[in-house]
Copies of this chain bind each other. A is one copy, B any other.
Amino acid sequence: MPVKRHPDHAPLELESFVPYQLSIVSNTVSQAIADDYQARHDLGVTEWRVMAVLARFDGLSAREVAERTAMDKVAVSRALARLVAAGRVRRHIHHDDKRRSVLGLTAAGWKIHDEVAPMARQRERQLLARLAPEEQAWLRRILDKLMPPEG
Q: Among A18, A29, A57, find the residue whose CB has the most chain B CB atoms closer than 10 A.
A: A18
CA distance in complex: A28, B150 (Å): 12
**Which one of B11, B49, B117 contacts A55 once the chains associate, using CB atoms below 8 Å?**
B11
Query: How many residues of A are in contact with the other chain, CB < 8 A?
Result: 67
Digit string of A110-151 for contact with B (CB within 8 Å is 1, else 0)? Answer: 100110011011011001101100010011111111111001
A45 to chain B, nearest CB (A): 9
Instruction: Add 9 more A-B contacts to A4-B59, A16-B140 (CB < 8 A).
Output: A4-B58, A6-B55, A13-B56, A14-B68, A18-B143, A22-B22, A23-B26, A24-B70, A135-B145
